Amino acid sequence: MRAFVTGASGFIGYHVARVLRQHGWQVRALVRNPEAVSRLSSLDVELVPGDLATGEGLEHIHGCETVFHVAALYSLNRRDGPLMYQVNVEGTRRLLETCERARVERVVYTSSTATVALSSGGEPADERRFANPDEVESDYKKSKILAEQVVLQACERGLDAVVVNPSTPVGPGDVKPTPTGKIILDIVQGRMPGYADTGLNVVAVEDVAEGHLLALERGQQGQRYILGGDNMHFRDLVARTAQLAGRPVPRLRVPLWLAYVAAAVDEWIVTPVTGRGPRIPVDGVKLARTPMYFSAEKARRELGFSPSAVDAALARAVAWFQREYPEKRERRRRA
């Protein structure tokens, strides 16, 4: 059994490749820079160079029974908008067309809960409603909605594809890191002064990876499955992470209007001067206006998905960031 995996050098993709290898699969991984993904060598996977933005490397799908399309550009930086559409939407379209020509048996597409319409009353949302791409607050969310629509249209043409919608994964190996990983890293490094009045659904990245394999084995063609864990107020997420990191628990509640002002200054004044991406993306603050709570009941019922304790996943994430960023901790001790 051979699986083609995109995004295997990323956060979720690495764990998907790891789970596949544990279950005896051969893995062919599409990577943009083979020299930069040395950690994949421990998994004994076949690396093929490629880029979803151009379609390079997709010919290597031929000879694989299954495709796990995990790769996506995840950014809340407005400047990344055009590239996100090229990678997330057009890259997905090109990949699925290649799958159809190669007669791939099944595709598991990694979408996001960003494509799920939130409940106005704050109740956990489920797979039944799509977010409107013309009403969402970020290019990332819009690109993922449009990409998922491309997948479902391919299903209507006969492609056997299943969609999984991870919520907010946490755990070891967040190498970029993702926007969520940046939050955890800021807490670990003592750079999180307070919390916003919002909520997230948090899940262990290892459980998300297992959910991909369950979707392959038990998912229904053209169906979407939320892979989520615990619904948590952001205050509680920050507090638990700070305790695990041995940091004081931030007590300051930051009003969203103040967070928006800080984000606007950061993104539109500071960022152009520094040339780096914004530390407080405006789109991220806009997303926080509605609690992002979700239900994984469908995945539990139809796939047998059973997420583990979030505190354990947060502990693994904290330990990983502390190990990967030791120099900053050393400087603080010497100060």
Instruction: Indicate the pTM of the whole model.
Output: 0.88
Its domain, for residue 107, covers 2-173+202-231+293-309
Residue 81, domain member (yes or no): yes
CATH number assigned to the domain comprising residue 15: 3.40.50.720
Residue 89, domain member (yes or no): yes
Residue 264, domain member (yes or no): no
Distances (CA, A) of 266 to 40, 77, 189, 261, 311: 35, 11, 20, 9, 31
Residue 316, domain member (yes or no): no
Residue 260, domain member (yes or no): no
Confirm if 198 and 88 have CB atoms less than 8 A apart.
no
Name the domain count of the chain.
1
Secondary structure string (H, E, C) spanning the chain: CEEEEECCCCHHHHHHHHHHHHCCCEEEEEECCHHHCHHHHHHCCEEEECECCCCECHHHHCCCCEEEECCCCCCCCHHHHHHHHHHHHHHHHHHHHHHHHHCCCEEEEECCHHHECCCCCCCCECCCCECCCCCCCCHHHHHHHHHHHHHHHHHHCCCCEEEEEECEEECCCCCCCCHHHHHHHHHHCCCCCEEECCEEEEEEHHHHHHHHHHHHHHCCCCCEEEECCEEEEHHHHHHHHHHHHCCCCCCEEECHHHHHHHHHHHHHHHHHHHCCCCCCCHHHHHHCCCCCCECCHHHHHHHCCCCCCHHHHHHHHHHHHHHHCHHHHHHHHHC
Residue 42, domain member (yes or no): yes
The pLDDT value recorded for residue 77 is 73
The pLDDT value recorded for residue 277 is 60
Distances (CA, A) of 328 to 38, 121, 163, 189, 262: 24, 42, 39, 8, 25
The pLDDT value recorded for residue 271 is 58
Residue 268 CB neighbour total at 10 angstroms: 12
pLDDT in tens, the chain (335 residues): 999 999 999 999 999 999 999 999 999 999 987 666 777 888 999 999 999 999 999 999 999 999 999 999 887 677 788 999 999 999 999 999 999 999 999 999 999 999 999 987 778 999 999 999 998 878 989 999 999 999 999 999 999 999 999 999 999 999 888 888 999 999 999 988 877 778 899 999 999 999 999 999 999 999 999 999 999 998 999 999 999 999 999 887 765 534 544 545 555 555 555 555 656 565 555 555 567 899 999 999 999 999 999 999 999 999 999 999 875 444 444 33
Residue 258, domain member (yes or no): no
Residue 80, domain member (yes or no): yes
